[in-house]
Structure 1
Amino acid sequence: MKELTQENAPVLEALEKLKQMRIVPFDVPGHKRGRGNKILTDFLGEKCLSVDVNSMKPLDNLCHPVSVIRDAEDLAAKAFGAEHAFFMVGGTTSSVQAMILTVCKRGDKIILPRNVHRSVINAMILCGAVPVYINPQMDKMLGISLGMGIADVKKAILENPDAKAVFVNNPTYYGICSNLKEIIKTAHAGNMFVLADEAHGTHFYFSDKLPTAAMRAGADMAAVSLHKSGGSLTQSSMLFINDKISEGYVRQIINLTQTTSGSYLLMASLDISRRNLALSGRKVIDSVIDLVEYARGEINNIGDYYAYSREKINGDSIYDFDITKLSVYTRSIGLAGIEVYDLLRDEYDIQTEFGDLANLLAYVSIGDRPRDMERLVSALSEIRRIYKKDSSGMLEAEYISPKVVLPPQDAFYTDREEAVLLDESVGRICTEFVMCYPPGIPILAPGELVTAQVLEYIHYAMEKGCQMTGPEDMKLKHLNVMAEK
C-alpha cells in the first residue's frame, strides 16, 4: 500500500469509489441517494444526495475509525502540526465541549477569559467544572474585550494551583490574540493543560504572516473551525491534540455527545479543505491578507470609520492581531455596528458577519473576490454620507465584570427556579443565558448576578437591534432566576 501524502483525500476517494459500485441501498438514509425525495434532490443536486450515505465498511465509521476516516485524520494532524486530529460534525461547539469534558470533571477549576463562546459555559454545565474567570482588559474606545494579560494569568494560576487547565481564545472574534507561548509555558509549569478555541484561527496554520497557531505553540488541545476560514461546509470542525492527551480517551468523550450518524458530506468537506490548505494554503491566505489590507486602507480613507489592525498591539492584552479580520469601528458616524450591519443587508444586499454596539465585522476568507470588497467599501461610504448623525448620547461600552455566585451547573440545574420580569431581576442569580448572537458570548450566564449595569446593556443592545438568544422566554420579557428562600 502506497504512503499517503497531502495530495490524497481518503474520504473523498472512498466516496468516489462508492459511486462507481452501483450498490443497491437497503440502509439509511431513507431518501435512498435522493430517489425518495425529488424536491430535495432538485434543490441540492443528485451529486450531493448520492454521497449522503451512512457508515459502511468501505467508508469507515466516525465513532471508531480504522481505515479511510483514520487516514484522513492522520493527514489532517500532519498538516496542522498535531499528534492527532478528530473530524467533528457537530461544529466547533462540539470540539470545544470535548476539550473541556476531557480535562475537567465535577468540581474541577478551569481558568479562562469571560469573553468565551457559550459552548465553553455549556461544557461546564455538562461536566460541573468551576470557572475561574480572568476579566479581559478593555479597549474603552472600541468597546471590546481584549486578550488575557500575562500577569493576570500568572495571578490566577498562583491563586488556583489546583486548576486543571487554562482556556485561551486564539484569536477573539475581533482578531485579538494573547501571548499564547508565554501562557502555555506558564500553565505547563503549573501542571495545567492549555486548551485553545481557534474557531477563527484555521488560517494561522498556513501563514507566517499571522499570529502563532496553538498546536505549533505547544497547546495541548485546539478546536478549529475549518468551515469559517478554511472553506469546508458549515458545521464541520476539527479537534487537535498533542502527545500528552490520550487519543482513545478523547474519542470516548467525543462519542458521549457526537452523533453516531456522521455526515459524509461534512467529512468529505473537511478532507477536501485540508488538502486545499496543505497544498495551496499559503498562497491563498496571502491573497486574503492583501485583500483585507487594501480594504482596510480604503475604509480608513472614507473618514470617521476606523478599521483597526496591528497598530493596536500593546505587547500584552493585545499581543498580536489577525490582519485578515476586517473589524470596523462605526460609532464615529453615530451608528452602532449592528445598525450598519442592518443597513448593509437591507439596503445594499451585503451580509456581514455581525455588528455589536460599536463595531462591524466583515469576515473575509478564501472565497472572497476584489469586486465584492469594492462593493462593501462603496456601501460603507454611502452609509456614512446618508445616515451619519451625532454620536453623543450613545452608550459608552465598557467591560462588565461578572459576579459569579454559583458554578454554572448548579445554577442551570437548580430546582429552585422562577421566572421574573426582566426589569425586576436586578440582584437575583440568573439560571440561564442571555447573549447577542453572533458572536454568542454571554452577557449573562447561569450562576451570575443580574446587576443594573447588565440590565442597561441588554436594553440598549435590544433597542439597537441586536438579536438576543439563550433565554427560555425568547422575547426576553422574563428571565429565569434562582427562587428566593
Structure 2
Amino acid sequence: MKNKESQSKAPIYEALMRYKKARVVPFDVPGHKQGRGNPMLKEFLGEQCVSVDVNSMKPLDNLCHPVSVIKEAEELAAEAFGSKHAFLMVNGTTSAVQAMVMSVCKKDEKVIMPRNVHRSAINALIISGAIPVYINPGVNKKLGIPLGMSVEDVKKAIKEHPDAKAIFVNNPTYYGICSNLKEITKLAHENGMYVLVDEAHGTHFYFGKNMPVSAIEAGADMAAVSMHKTGGSLTQSSFLLLNCDLHIGYVRQIINLTQTTSGSYLLMSSLDLARRDLVLNGKEIFEKVTELAEYARAEINKIDGYYAFSKELIDGDTVFDFDKTKLSIFTRDIGLAGVEVYDILRDEYGIQIEFGDIANILAIISVGDRNLTIERLISSLSEIKRLYSKDKAGMFDHEYINPEVVLTPQEAFYSEKNSLPINKSDGKICGEFVMCYPPGIPILAPGERITREILDYIEYAKEKGCFLTGTEDIKIKNINIVEE
C-alpha cells in the first residue's frame, strides 16, 4: 500500500532547494558555475535550472553509492512501483535494459527473448557475451506488425533450452500489444529462470485504473521503466525495478559499469517529482489520457481508410491485452506508408508524432495533451486522406521478417569484417545493425543472415523516408559483413 504522506516527499528536489537557499560558492564542477560562466545557457534554460545543475556532494548524495537523499528517493520509488528496490537511471532505459541482462547472464549463458526487442537488449548481448534464444513474435498479417510472445512458444523454448538463465519480455510493445506476462513469469519461475521486462512504454500500468498488468504485479524479477515516456520526467530518466533475490549492491555494481559517474541532478529530481505526482494524481491523469485516446480512436475510425486499432485485437495469446492509451493507426489502406503520413503531419501540419513505420503511425497521448490538439490531429489526418491518398498496389505488407541467426551478436560484432555495397550483401552474415529509428527495433542485427527479402525491405523503407540507423556508413549504402 502506497503511503500518500511519505509519497508526497521529493527528497532530491528538497535537497536541491536547500542547496540553492544556502548560496554555496562553487569551486567544483560543472564549470558553468550555476550558469554564471555561460550566460547564453542560463538565458536559454533559465536561472532556476542551471543553478541546480550540480555535482555530487555530501548533502546531495552520490548516485553511484547512495546513502542519503538519493537512497530515500529510491526507497520511495520502490514503494510507489511495488518493487523490492528501484534504481534511478540517468543513462536512459537503454542502460536499465543492459543492466537487467548483465545482472543475470554472463558470457555464453542463454537468454530467451523475442526478436523484436529494442536495440538496447541486443547491445546488452554484445557487451556481456550472453547468447540469445530468439522467439519469433506472432505477426498480424493485416497490420503487418509484430505481436507479443505466445505462451506455447515460450514453453517450447524452455523445453529446448532448459539451461537458459532468463526470459526477456517486451511489454507493452511500441504498438500497445501485451503478452501473457503472468503465465510467462509462472513458467519461467517453475523452470528456475528470471523474468526481465522491457517496460519502457508501460509506466502508466502502475498508476492508472483498468490498465494491463504491470511487470511487478505479474511477479517479474526486474523491469526497466521509461519514466520520461509516459510518466512526466525529463528525457533520458528511467527506473530499473528489482523484485527478486539479487543483491541490490551487486545490481548497482552492474549499473555502474556503464552508467555515468556524474549523475544529472536535473534528471534525478525530475524522477523524484514525477514519481510523487503519479502516486498522488496518477489515477486521474491516466483516466484523462485514456479518454483522450479513446475519443481520438473513435473519430479516426470514422475516416474511411484509417484503422486505429485497440482491444478488438485481443486473442488471449500473442495479443493477451492492449494498452488503450496507445493511439496506433494503420495507414496502408489510403495508399500511404506510416512514415509518409508521419512526414506530412510534421512538414505540412506542424504535428510531430512518435513514429511512422511502413504501415502504421503512433501518436503518444499524455497528460500534456488537450482536446484542441487531439481535434487538430484528427482533422489533419482527414485532410491528408483527402489530399494525398493513392492506390495501395505494390505496398509492403509486413513489418517483421524472421531472422536466421548464424553467430551470436558479440561474435559477429567483434569479428573481422568487410564493407560491401548493401545491395550486394545477399547471403552474407551481417556484422552490425540496420534499423529504422524510431522505434529502434533492428531489421538486421549482428550475426544474422542477410536475405533478399530483408534487402528489399530496407530499400522500401529508404524510399518511403524511414530514418535508417546503425551502420558504420552513415548513408546506409554499405554494410559490414562478417568474413567467412
TM range (shorter): over 0.9
Q: 1:326: which partner in 2? A: 327
1:380 match: 381
Cα deviation, 1:220-266, whole Å, max 9, x if unaligned, reads: 00000000000000000000011322111100000111101000000
For residue 398 of structure 1, report the CA deviation from its aligned partner. 5.2
Matches within 5 A, 1:417-428: 417-428=417-428
- Aligned pairs (5 A) from 1:39-78: 39-78=40-79
| Residue 347 of structure 2: aligned partner | 346
Checking the alignment, whether the CA contact within 8 Å between 2:359 and 2:397 is kept in structure 1 is no
The equivalent residue for 1:217 is 218
Closer/same/farther in 2, CA of residues 61 and 398 from structure 1, 3 Å limit:
closer
Find out whether 1:127 has 2:119 as its counterpart. Answer: no
Task: Report SS of the residue matched to 1:11.
Answer: helix
Retained in 2: the 8 A contact 1:33–1:52? yes
Q: For residue 395 of structure 1, what is the aligned residue in structure 2? A: 396
User: 1:317 — aligned with what?
Assistant: 318
Whole-angstrom CA distance in 2 between matches of 1:237 and 1:171? 16
The answer for the alignment partner of 2:449 in structure 1 is 449
Match of 1:65, SS state, is coil
Q: List gaps (5 residues or longer) in structure 1.
A: none
Q: Paired residue for 2:429?
A: 429
CA displacement, residues 303-326 of structure 1 (integer Å, 9 cap, x when unaligned): 110000000000000000000000
Say which SS state the counterpart of residue 479 (structure 1) adopts.
strand
2:271 corresponds in structure 1 to 270
Task: Measure the CA separation in 2 of the matches of 1:53 and 1:148.
Answer: 43
CA distance in 2, matches of 1:115, 1:393: 25
Provide, for residues 370-415 of structure 1, a one-character-per-residue CA deviation record: whole Å limited to 9, x for no partner.
110000001000000111111111122153111000000000001x
Corresponding position of 1:440: 440
Q: What SS class does the counterpart of residue 217 from structure 1 fall into?
A: coil
Specify the alignment match of 2:467 in structure 1.
467
Letter in 1 for 2:481: V
Q: Which runs of 4+ in 1 moved over 3 A?
A: none
Q: In the alignment, which residue of structure 2 is the partner of 1:147?
A: 148
Report the Cα distance in structure 2 between the residues aligned to 1:308 and 1:201, rounded to whole angstroms.
18
Aligned-residue offset at 1:483: 1.8
Aligned partner of residue 5 in structure 1, secondary structure: helix
1:451 Cα deviation after fit = 0.5
SS in 2 for 1:442: strand
1:9-88 equivalent positions in 2, closer than 5 A: 9-88=10-89
Cα distance between partner residues in 1 of 2:9 and 2:31: 30
Q: Distance in 1 between matches of 2:67 and 2:43?
A: 35
Separation in 2, partners of 1:161, 1:319: 25
| Contact 1:174 1:327 (C-alpha < 8 Å) held by counterparts | yes
Distance 1:454 1:421 in 2: 14
Residue 208 (structure 1) shift: 3.1
Match of 1:286 in 2: 287
SS state at 1:392 partner: coil
Q: Please give the per-residue CA displacement for 1:14-72, whole angstroms capped at 9, x wherever unaligned.
A: 00100100110000000000000001101101000000000001100000000000000
Query: In structure 1, what is the Cα distance between the partners aligned to 2:25 and 2:399?
Result: 61
Q: Is the 8 A contact 1:200 1:229 kept in 2?
A: yes
Displacement of 1:348 in angstroms is 0.2
Q: How does 1:181-220 map to 2 (within 5 A)?
A: 181-220=182-221
AA matched with 1:458:
I
Counting matched residue pairs gives: 482
Give, in angstroms, the shift of residue 108 of structure 1. Answer: 0.4
**Is 2:103 the partner of 1:105?**
no
Distance across 2 between alignment mates of 1:244 and 1:370: 45
Partner SS for 2:302: helix
Q: Is the 8 A contact 2:354 2:363 kept in 1?
A: yes
SS of residue matched to 2:216: helix
Q: TM-score, normalised by structure 2?
A: 0.99
**How big is each residue's C-alpha offset from its partner over 1:181-226, in whole Å with a ceiling of 9 and x where there is no partner?**
0000000000000000000000000123110000111000000000
Instruction: Read off the aligned partner of 2:186 and give its amino acid letter.
Output: K
User: TM-score under structure 1 normalisation?
Assistant: 0.98
The answer as to whether partners of 1:140 and 1:398 remain within 8 angstroms in 2 is: no
SS of residue in 2 equivalent to 1:301: coil
Instruction: Kindly provide the amino acid, as one letter, of the partner of residue 90 in structure 1.
Output: N
Distance in structure 2 (CA, Å) of the matches to 1:433 and 1:243: 32
Residues in 1 aligned to 2:478 and 2:400: alpha-carbon distance in whole angstroms: 24
**Deviation string, structure 1 residues 431-467 (Cα, Å, up to 9, x no partner):** 1000000000000000000001100000000000001
**Shift in CA distance, 304/375, structure 1 to aligned 2, threshold 3 Å:** same
Give 3-state SS (helix, strand or coil) of 1:341's partner: helix
Q: Distance in 1 between matches of 2:131 and 2:316?
A: 29
Match for 2:66: what amino acid? Answer: P
Report % sequence identity. 65
Note if 1:479 corresponds to 2:476. Answer: no
Shift of 1:85: 0.3
Q: For structure 2, which runs of at least 5 residues remain unmatched after alignment?
A: none
Question: In terms of mean alpha carbon deviation, does 238-247 or 181-190 score higher?
Answer: 238-247
